[in-house]
Every structure is written in structure tokens, then in C-alpha cells.
Structure 1
């Protein structure tokens, strides 16, 4: 079991370093070709690849290697392939796919946040599986809406084209964000209600094992 975990950790490190190497090469090429927009995009993406590790370390949280790999691939697909390699223009479905995936990821994070609060003895509140799922859904959609506001602001202030087709792009992004959030929220509901088998349970179980110090058993009522 430890051997399997070490292989995943090694794969995570190799993937992260490969992505960072590509970004550094892109930055050098961008400077040579005087493409400063691509340079700053690559620099921002490079910083983002370190963000999950920094947040996890600062909050004393250990993320499963599989989850960190998903985050790294998402950053790479959205920033490097999407923005720098113009995949958003080459493939009409690229943006929709990434927004659906972001809804899933944010929905899972939202569920995880409220799950931690449910297990925290110092917080005098307990949410039922339904309200845990509802929180996960609204958390994901809210972050998606904030991102659309950011895109709108960047387009209007700096003359970029992040929204592509404007209102149509924004609405489809929010729709697929919501679809991804619903899937994640419903999976969380099934896990909390019935401990259903599946990918969601595997991620939760791995997270709990790696962060047992966050989940002290308590005597909170589960009748709400």
C-alpha cells in the first residue's frame, strides 16, 4: 500500500516538474518573440502550480496525490493549453469541459469544507447530508460566478477577450459549472447518507486518513 502511494507521489512530482519546465521554456520563447502577454500568462500559471502545495502546507493539510494531480492538470489545461496554445479557439468544447471539471472540483472542496466543520467540536452546528450537498453546490456556483465577474472586468479594463462570445459564453460557463457542482454535491450526499462506493468515497477516505488530526470524533447529534 505504501509502495502504491509512493508511486503516485512520484508521478505527482514528475508531472508538476514537467509542467513547470514547459512553462519556463514558454516564458523564454515569449521574451525572445516579444509576446509579453504569453510571458505573464506563463508566469501566472507557474505560480499557480505551487499554490495547492502552499495552501496545504500553511494549513497543515495533506492532499491525496491523485487530487493534486487533478488540480495540476486543470491548471495546465486551462492556462497553458487554453490560453497560450489557443485550445479555447481550436476546440469549441474545451472551455465547457474545463468549467464542468471546475464545478466538480469546487463542489468537492465545498463539501470537504462543511464536512470538516461538521466534525469540529468547537463549532456548535451540524448539517444534514442534504444541506451539506446544498452548501457544496452553492459554493461551487458562487466561485464560478465570481470568476465570470473577473473575466468581464479583465475584458473591459485591459481589452482582453476572456469571455469570447460575451453573454452566451458566460451563460454556458455558468450552466456547465452548475452541472459539475450538482454531480459533486449529489455524490457527496450519497456518501454522507449511505457511504456509497465510488470515486468520491475514495477521495474522502484518503483525505480522512491523511488528515486524521482534523476529524476528532464528537458527540454531535445527527438528527438535523
Structure 2
């Protein structure tokens, strides 16, 4: 499954491996730890998808890898959060949209694609809650990294955390809303297209789905 990913995805993984090796060689253990954490988190979805026998669109997997690399590695090691004020908004907003889509797909899979088993609004609501929960867990992760490794992922503390949660809320609403629009037969460009691509690649999870 690793070989099936896009060239850019594999190049990002290779860059992280090189960065981790160079950091270990120069005994910069905190940098090595961040690089390895970034590598592990970006590869985790591939392993989970393989274990669950799910085919994930390459474009979506690339988006996950770019988000993890942009958030942890570029954001912390290269200080993108302080150099570009909009970096934090893009990272949190983009991830929330993605998790909103993931939450929708997961709930939709539970009903085997039967949109009549639960109304679209209910499926979208649980997708929204899923994305918010992931966002809250990420804030806990940032707090833990700051406390354990002496990083500054939370920046201004409470203000940064609340700002991130607000952005997460907006992104989650967009992602879940895209799932709602998909069930209603509406097209919202790339977002509903990702859902359609996932459904098409994994028909055994959506046996009751009929457009």
C-alpha cells in the first residue's frame, strides 16, 4: 500500500526519514523525536486502512501527510506558526474539514450506505461531533508536547487554544455539511467528489447505497 501512494507522499516520508537520521547523527534528540512522530502519524492512516481492508483515495492520503508534516514538522521545527500568521488557521481549518469528511464516511459505513436508516441530518451531526472530538484531542496533544518536550505548540495558551477550537468548529461544519450535501444529491466540488471516490472504491461497505 505504501508503493501505491503518490510520489509527493513518498518524498515527504523520505524527507522525514532523512531529517530524523541527520538529527540522530548530530545528537539533536528533540528534533529526531519530532521527525519520527511526524513520520509515524503520517503513516498511521495507511496502516489502519490496510488492516481494515479499506481503499483510501491517494489524494486524501496526501492531504493527511501534508497536514501532519505541516503542523508538527514545518510548524514547530521551522517555526511556520510564528513566521506566517495564517499557517495555524489553514492547518486547523483544513484538518477539521478532513475529519468532518472522515466522520461522515465512518457513520455512513455503519449503516452500509443506507441513507434511510438514519436521516442525513443525523449522520452529518455525528460527523460534526467526530471532527470536534478529534480537534479537542489535538489540543490535548499540543499541551502534552509543550509540557514534555518544552515546545510552544499552544503559543499564547488559552487564546490560541480557543482560536483553534473555533476554527475547528467551522471546518467541522463544512466537512459534515459536505456529507449532508452528498446525501441530498448535491455537488460541492472536490469535497463531495472525495466522498464519491471513497464509496466507489469500497462498494462492500455501502451495499445499500443507491444514488
State whether TM-score is above 0.5: yes
Q: Aligned-pair distance for 1:41?
A: 0.5
For structure 2, list consecutive stretches of 5 or more residues without a partner in the other structure. Answer: none
2:57 is aligned with 1:64: yes
1:197–1:156 Cα change, 3 Å: closer
Q: Aligned-pair distance for 1:168?
A: 0.4
Task: Determine the structure 1 residue equivalent to 2:69.
Answer: 76
Q: Aligned-pair distance for 1:183?
A: 0.8
Task: Determine the structure 1 residue equivalent to 2:207.
Answer: 216
- Structure 2 SS opposite 1:142: helix
1:153–1:17 Cα change, 3 Å: closer
Task: Determine the structure 1 residue equivalent to 2:174.
Answer: 183
Q: Please tell me the root mean square deviation across aligned C-alpha atoms, in Å.
A: 2.3
The one of 97, 102, 122 equivalent to 1:104 is 97
Q: Aligned-pair distance for 1:13?
A: 3.3
* Farther off after superposition, 100-109 or 89-98: 89-98
1:13–1:120 Cα change, 3 Å: closer
Q: Please say if residues 151 and 163 of structure 1, whose CA atoms lie closer than 8 Å, have aligned partners that are also in contact.
A: yes
1:42–1:112 Cα change, 3 Å: same
For structure 1, list consecutive stretches of 5 or more residues without a partner in the other structure. Answer: 1-8, 220-224
1:114–1:72 Cα change, 3 Å: same
Q: Please say if residues 110 and 137 of structure 1, whose CA atoms lie closer than 8 Å, have aligned partners that are also in contact.
A: yes
Task: Determine the structure 2 residue equivalent to 1:93.
Answer: 86
Q: Aligned-pair distance for 1:32?
A: 3.9
Q: Highest Rg: 1 or 2?
A: 1
Alignment size in residue pairs? 208
